[in-house]
Amino acid sequence: MPPVGGFYRPLSEPLLIALKRRSTVILTSIVLGLGFIIWCQRPASQPRAFVPKNRFATVRNHTFDGTWDYKRDRFNFMLNTAQCEQAFPGLFAEIERPKTQREKRPITLKEINAIVPREGYVRAMIINQQLYIIAAEKQIYSRELATLHSIYRAIISSPEPLPDIEFAFNSADRIDNVALWGYARRPDDTNIWLVPDFGYWSWPEPKVGTIREVQMKAEWAEEIGGFPWKSKLGKLFWRGATMNLELREKFMAASQTESWSDVKSLNWKDKESIADDLKPMPEHCHYKYLAHTEGNTYSGRLKYLQSCRSVVVAHKMDWIQHHYPLMRSSGSEQNYVEVRRDWEDLHEKMQWLIDNDIDAERIAANNMKTFRRRYLTPAAEVCYWRHLIRSWAEVSFEPSFFKEVGGKKVWRGLPAESFFLERRMDWDPY
């Protein structure tokens, strides 16, 4: 009989080998497990941002660090309340003005009900982050739809809940001085709350497009199209119909014989005049000096001129839009040149600009930095809408989702999505 040791040896070797292999597997698993835990606990690194080859394309990096960065933040629709205030100081002056006025005299449902609907009138409400259209007067045009789309975008992209409100706006150039939202007001129209005009979304009829489109083409014209400041034409440019307005007729008279003038009146019914003299908005940026005139009321053209790295020359204005408090006519932050409303000092101001090209270039740069690269960006627009909604809620009544008809509760309003598709409040089903 073999010795005991000899008998167990053939049986013990495979067992020992298996135990060693099992220990190795266990040890490896422990090491990998500890490594995974350590890897999970490491500080999160920022993902490398994708940078498109086209330097004018949108870079979607929504990280806001408290300091405005045009290339990073211009299309950021998700800035919160604090970030909006950091990014756009001074933008909300035309919201704070009427809000302060109504703090001791809140807006009531009776007041909204008393507004006489006129062409361009839309009444709506926001409840539970949904936009509802309550009433619309007569035919719906692109202006009303553009404004509703802008409000809708501000709601659905908001990183914070917005309060429930009920409001009315009118897209007409001139509106009643009541608790309405409007595109422009005169100094005495203190009840009107100003909103960005329809052109921020799009102005399709004259093919101007969106404000984003105008600004991109302005950048192309100046940065890669061969029109930096030194290459711009040293003339004052303006095109438009005088419409027998004294303001514009005097402007024509003050500029026609000047060597620095490229000012022409357009006849919109004359195809030859339009073909020869009309220039699209990006081509305005080919000029160092751009004239701005009001029309029957305000002129929505100003925001497009402010998208150029050019000097805006504007008369003293009777009308105010939501971003006008940011305009500076003097000082180190000067971003436009103001002349008298009768244009009597136009020659003097133009001669100063021509003789002081360094100062003119500084004013043009301030214009671009203030407006195209900050306060007229899509990010600024949605911040303005949300600040308006919150401020309105603070001094207004809380809307009701239902109304009573024949003793029954009936849903008020039509969801904006359906209204956008049908452009009407009522229609027959299939």
Domain ranges, residue 312: 211-320+324-375
pLDDT per position as a tens digit, 65-81:
999 999 999 999 999 99
- Cα 267 to Cα 392: distance, rounded to the nearest angstrom: 42
* pLDDT the model gives residue 204: 87
> Does residue 223 sit in the same domain as residue 174?
no
Given this model, what pLDDT does residue 14 score? 47
Residues 365, 245, single domain; the answer is yes
Mean pLDDT across 130-157: 95
Q: What integer pLDDT is reported at residue 231 of this predicted model?
A: 95
Q: How many domains does the chain have?
A: 2
Local confidence band at 398 (pLDDT 50, 70, 90 cut-offs): very high
- Domain-embedded: residue 9: no
> Domain check: are 364 and 410 in the same one?
no
CA atoms of 347 and 306, how far apart (whole Å): 22
Same domain, 180 and 300: no
Q: How confident is the model at residue 426 (pLDDT cuts 50, 70, 90)?
A: confident
171: nearest Cα among 100, 106, 117? 117
- Residues of 286-296 as b/e, b for ≥16 C-beta within 10 angstroms? bbbbbbbbbbe
**In the structure encoding, which two tokens stand for residue 373, read together?**
């690269």
Please tell me whether residues 269 and 300 are part of one structural domain. Answer: yes
DSSP string covering 2-67, please? --HHHHHHHHHHHHHHHHHHHHHHHHHHHHHHHHHHHHHTSPPPPPPPP--SSTTS--------SS
Q: Is residue 87 part of a domain?
A: no
- Residue 48 lies inside a defined structural domain of this protein: no
> 411 lies in a domain?
yes
Residue 412 and residue 401 in contact, taking contact as beta carbons nearer than 8 Å: yes
pLDDT above 90 as % of the chain: 74
Question: CA–CA distance from 219 to each of 92, 269, 282, 307 (Å)?
Answer: 26, 31, 9, 9
266 and 352 in a single domain? The answer is yes
Q: Are residues 137 and 167 in the same domain?
A: yes
In a domain, 42, yes or no: no
Structural contact between residues 147 and 198, judged by C-beta atoms closer than 8 angstroms = yes
Do residues 284 and 393 share a domain? no
Domain boundary residue among 336, 355, 375?
375
% residues pLDDT > 70 (the chain): 85
236 and 350 fall within a common domain: yes
CATH number of the domain bearing residue 371: 3.40.50.2000
Cα 90 from Cα 327, distance rounded (Å)? 11
Cβ atoms of 144 and 118 closer than 8 Å: no
Tell me, what DSSP letter sits at residue 146? H
Q: In which element (H, E) is residue 79 found?
A: none
Is the domain of 239 the same as that of 344? yes
Coil/strand/helix, residue 259: coil
Q: What rounded mean pLDDT belongs to the chain?
A: 88
Q: Is 268 within a domain?
A: yes
Q: Residue 127: is its pLDDT beyond 50? A: yes
Residue 54 domain-assigned (yes or no): no
> Position of tokens 């490896």?
28
351-395 pLDDT, tens digit each:
999 999 999 999 999 999 999 999 999 999 999 999 999 999 999
307 and 178 in a common domain:
no
Domain check: are 333 and 268 in the same one? yes
pLDDT (0 to 100) of residue 43: 47
Do the beta carbons of residue 234 and residue 288 sit within 8 Å?
yes
Cβ-proximal residues to 350 (8 Å cutoff; 6+ apart), any chain: 236, 258, 260, 289, 313
In a domain, 181, yes or no: yes
Report the C-alpha gap between 424 and 421 in whole angstroms: 9
Measured CA to CA, the distance from residue 154 to residue 378 in angstroms comes to: 10
Is the per-residue pLDDT at 144 higher than 70?
yes
Kindly report the number of other CB atoms within 10 A of residue 359's CB atom: 14
